[in-house]
Amino acid sequence: MSAITITKRDYNEWLEFCSQVQNSAAVAFNDTEEIQKLRIKRALTDYNYFVKTYFELYADADCADFHIDFANACLADPNFFGVAEWAREHAKSVHLTIIIPMWLIAHKQLTGMLLMGKNEDDACNLLSDLQAQLQYNKLFAHDFGEQYNFGSWEDGDFTTKEGIRFLAFGRDQSPRGARENEKRPNYGVVDDVDDDDIVHNPKRVDKVVKKILGAMYFALSIKGARFAMGGNRIHHNSILANIVGDTKPGAKKREGIYHSKVKAIENGKPAWWQRYSLQELLRKISKAGTVLAKQEFFHETDIEGKIFKNKYFRFAKLPHLSKMDIIIGYFDPSFENSQTSDFKAVSVWGQDRFKRYCIKRFTRRCELEDVFEWMIKVEKNLPPGVGIIWYMEKQFYTRPVKKALRRACKKYKYPLSVLTDERQKPNKYTRMVRMEPEYSSGNVVYNVEEENDPDMVEGN
């Protein structure tokens, strides 16, 4: 996400891409009117089928559930205002700038489109793929009519035979003359406009946010207009974060927003499991490192604190667990099971003389029973002669927790024992400050074998 120089696409390269589009979306020689009618009928109601049928170049796997949900929500609401905060390489641009506009055309719901990129060249490049599809996708044209009429993505401006105009512009520009005759655009999309330079300049961020919500949004039709923004959160005060509204912990999101926030790995599983395996994602995380993985895959910005510095968090090989003086697992539960609820977290810590070792972590939104099942599996996999003392705060050891523990023990036929922590403790800030000397002196070490584990990444 660094601020690299973006240049306009080479025209000959675009023509080569157009040839690929034409070859991948040809009309079958044995196509009949009956087959066509059935294909169109299904395509208009099944977004995944629509993508795989007309956009073979992009469809190397089924759509993720979040792709389908976003597209259907956009289609269903003529005043849709949505943000696709999806992890890196999860097809934000493809869906928001190419397939969803054509999904709207197929449904006769598009009158014009505004597309904002980092700069004009970036926006024109994005528009070039869409023009290629509208001009050379023969199967789409066969089913939904010939589209392209005049203009060029190179100028950031082209129009279809139905008078649907497509305009591209950079984040530092304003949409110019957006209306085509009586048709005002009714779909606006902002694609990946954040970079490492702008997010550290609040004035520039604020200027772009005002442009999006002002000049761009008000250039769309009052009668009904859809808006979509795609990106991942690379800073707590990024353009995307300001559009969503939750720039600070606990802050409210913008009223009426459809916010699709997707991490690459959720609850220990790939969010786009139809395309990526857990091993592939973990390999990427391992090569990129935890800090960048948090930013690109988990929307977590690594903001160094005033008390705890990044350098305090050391990963190293741990002593054998049998060498530990004591090993404790501490469970911090959450009692809501929703996308916005707190995570249920378990940290397993060991102590060897003066050093403390974070051995393993569980950090997920899940059912209580899932946590206890994880604890049982961890305990059963311990070396001979090694045990864990499990704790949780007494105030949280309620009837639902006890029932979930009993169910997990019964399922695995294993007697997991959890003790209650009855200590009177100072407030959280005081406890954190007291831990600082242990971290700064190097007496706290994290298990290097778990450095790229999704639970460890999420927990840190």
- Give the chain's mean pLDDT: 88
Given a cut of 90, is residue 401 above it in pLDDT? yes
The CA R_g of the chain, rounded to the nearest whole Å, is 26
Residue 292 has pLDDT above 60, yes or no: yes
Give the β-pairing of 269-270 and 265-266. antiparallel
pLDDT digits (tens, 9 = 90+) for 195-235: 888 988 889 999 999 999 999 999 999 999 999 999 989 88
252: its two tokens: 């409210």
Give, to the nearest 10 degrees, the angle between helix 368-380 and helix 399-412: 50
Q: Is the pLDDT of residue 51 over 90?
A: yes
State residue 439's pLDDT score: 83
Over the stretch 327-348, which tens digit does the pLDDT of each residue have?
A: 999 998 874 444 445 678 999 9
Q: Are 26 and 143 in contact (CB under 8 A)?
A: no
| Distances, alpha carbon 188 to alpha carbons 114, 166, 232, in Å | 5, 10, 18
CA 421, 422, 427, 431 dihedral sign is: negative
By percentage, how much of the chain surpasses pLDDT 90?
Answer: 59
Q: What is the pLDDT of residue 337?
A: 43
63-73 residue pLDDT tens:
999 999 999 99
For 387, residues 6+ apart whose C-beta sits below 8 A from its C-beta are: 327, 379
Pairing mode, strands 444-447 and 314-316:
parallel
* Rounded CA separation 194/239 (Å): 6
**Report field, pTM of the whole predicted structure over 0.75:** no
Residue 418 contacts residue 444 (beta carbons within 8 Å)? no
Q: Which residue has the higher pLDDT, 31 or 356?
A: 356
The confidence band for 290, taking pLDDT boundaries of 50, 70 and 90, is confident
Mean pLDDT calculated for residue range 282-291: 80
Strand partners, 327: 350
| Residue 179: per-residue pLDDT | 61
Q: How high is the pLDDT of residue 173?
A: 86
CA distance 121 to 104: 25
Give the other-Cβ count within 10 Å of 303's Cβ: 9
**Ranked by mean pLDDT, which of 75-84, 144-153, 248-257, 276-285 comes out on top?**
75-84
- Which whole-number Å values give the CA distances from 193 to 51, 190, 212, 306, in the listed order? 25, 7, 11, 29
- DSSP H stretches of helix in 344-427: 368-380, 399-412
pLDDT in the model for residue 185: 94
Tally Cβ neighbours within 10 Å of residue 386: 14
- Please tell me which of 14-28, 290-304, 369-383, 438-452 the model is most confident about, judged by mean pLDDT: 369-383
pLDDT of 53 above 50: yes
- Sorted by where each starts, the structural domains of the chain and their CATH numbers stand as 11-264 (3.40.50.300), 304-459 (3.30.420.280)
Q: Give per-residue pLDDT as tens, 414-439.
A: 999 999 998 887 767 667 767 877 88
The pLDDT score that the predictor gives to residue 338 is 44
> 96: which DSSP letter?
I
- Interior angle at CA 207, CA 202 and CA 208, nearest 5: 100
pLDDT of res. 336? 47
Question: Dihedral of CA 272/276/278/282: which sign?
Answer: negative
pLDDT exceeds 60 at position 58: yes
Residue type, 325: D
DSSP category for residue 387: -
Query: Distance between CA atoms of 403 and 229, rounded to whole angstroms?
Result: 43
